[in-house]
Amino acid sequence: MKMSKVIKPLVPVATLVLGLGYVVKKGKFPVKLSRAVSDIAQVASDATINEEKSFGGLKQSELNEIASNTFRGVKAVIDGDTLEYWFKSASGKKTSTARIGLDSAGELVFTFLSYRDANSPYSFIKNLRDAMNKDN
């Protein structure tokens, strides 16, 4: 039996239990039911709507697409004002990182590169520059 057939029917039940637990905790069941419903809806909307971070004018999803289309690229993660690019080693056994930042002129620079002779981060920077220039 597929787990989705078991889990999907339980979602409305879990929502009801959480909603009733919230109402019981607040202790205002008959009077403030509309308030409890709006609070639950607000929590649900906050959980589903997350603003995407951006780096150099590119959103997180675009950066991940560029990383996955780069040779040996795994992912790109925005960490504050820097970008971490994760890539596989030549043997494919190890995952390494490169940190990329923007200088005052808006140019991409490596702030950390685990292997100086790795070609994948340089290819990623080239693809990243192309994507940044295409948007401008």
Q: What is the pLDDT of residues 44-83, one digit of tens each?
A: 555 555 577 899 889 999 999 999 999 999 999 999 899 9
pLDDT band at 31, cuts 50/70/90? very low
Q: Is the pTM of this model over 0.85?
A: no
Task: Detail the DSSP E strand segments found in 47-107.
Answer: 54-55, 58-59, 73-79, 82-88, 95-102
In the chain, the percentage of residues whose pLDDT exceeds 90 is: 43
Those residues whose C-beta lies under 8 Å from the C-beta of residue 70, and which sit 6 or more positions away, are 87, 120, 123, 124, 127
